[in-house]
Chain A
């Protein structure tokens, strides 16, 4: 089975996230064609209906749009929309989790801020 898909969340959500990542990272530029659901199904060894649900999730949000008889494409402005959405999730997903772990280990706010600065200078 594909290592790219795990059991943590519904598969169609993970497919949608993978497409989102590709758009954010520029692997799928705006106005470019997205692989077909059958291509997704074959690549990830998943049911085509599941792949279609992942694609539909993004279509509903206006990230992808359909060109009749051709396939699915990335909407103009999709990247900016996704980055905005991810920024909102960033706090909940990373910052809150980090603060909780730091509290458990007795790391002070100053030490934490220092670590973030050190981490930032590395990349």
Chain B
């Protein structure tokens, strides 16, 4: 696998604020990545720097083997669908599609028309008159039809209803299967997209907290519920992410693999074993008390 994006020690500061702090990662070709994190974590700043729309304060970015800034050969291979893309006042949907066709060498006009119809987009309507959901749908159409080797979606489904979101996931998977490319989905709607992702980058307060294959994350933590005293003895010596108690009943979320031995240990104590979803894991890792967090490495 070859890395098409190499980011090392990337930092971005605005005055006293550090938006992105010493972030390093690589993206391999033809995988679907999730760039996850809470609002204001620094996801959008990272995407802006990857696509040369903002300068890094320090650190190095290589996209397709070169620095992206003012580099036509790099930038034409990227399609970045921004959450709040601004369009010229006179543009209608058709204009946006025509300009996108000029910008993206792999543009598939027939596919774009098919998607436009599927999402029920009115071609003649001015962009300014579109609803939030329709604006998002235009972004989805452009992102998919551009077939750019690196396609980045920043919160692509704001305002899209459940049917349209599901259609987006279906279309993305189908087109990705036929035309593999590297996709970054930036979102805080983790449960909905977790099944689409192959690899997750979790950003928290400007730092990279997790960089892991999704499949390994799904077995990375578990919860046990039961009598408080037994929970204590079970949790002893384990890395506990969070505890809750209600009277004599307690629960603990534990970082670690839920192996046969742990399951047996829990069963012997009469504790109930429950899995932790990717979304719950991320809530536990990013939700809470400052200062207690450490990068999770395996």
Contact = CB atoms under 8 A, between A and B. Distances in A.
Interface of A: 1-2, 5, 7-12, 38, 41-42, 44-50, 53, 96, 100, 104
User: Which 4 residue pairs spanning A and B have beta carbons closest together?
Assistant: A7-B277, A38-B177, A8-B275, A46-B195
B214 interface: yes
Nearest to A103: B270
Contacts of B32: 47
The secondary-structure label for the interface of chain A is helix
Interface stretch (B127-135, B168-176, B203-211, B228-236): B168-176
A9 B275 CA distance: 7
Contacts of A104: 270
The secondary-structure label for the interface of chain B is helix
Given A41-B177, A42-B173, A45-B170, A11 B218 contact: yes
Given A47-B198, A50-B198, A41 B215 contact: no
B164 to A, nearest CB: 14
Name, among A44, A47, A104, the residue most crowded by chain B CB atoms within 10 Å (CB to CB).
A47
12 contacts: A1-B166, A5-B195, A7-B218, A7-B277, A42-B170, A45-B166, A46-B173, A46-B195, A46-B196, A47-B197, A47-B214, A48-B176
A46 B32 CA distance: 11
B114 interface: no
Contacts of B177: 38, 41-42, 48
A12 B267 CA distance: 25
Interface string B19-62: 00000000000011000000000000000000000000000000
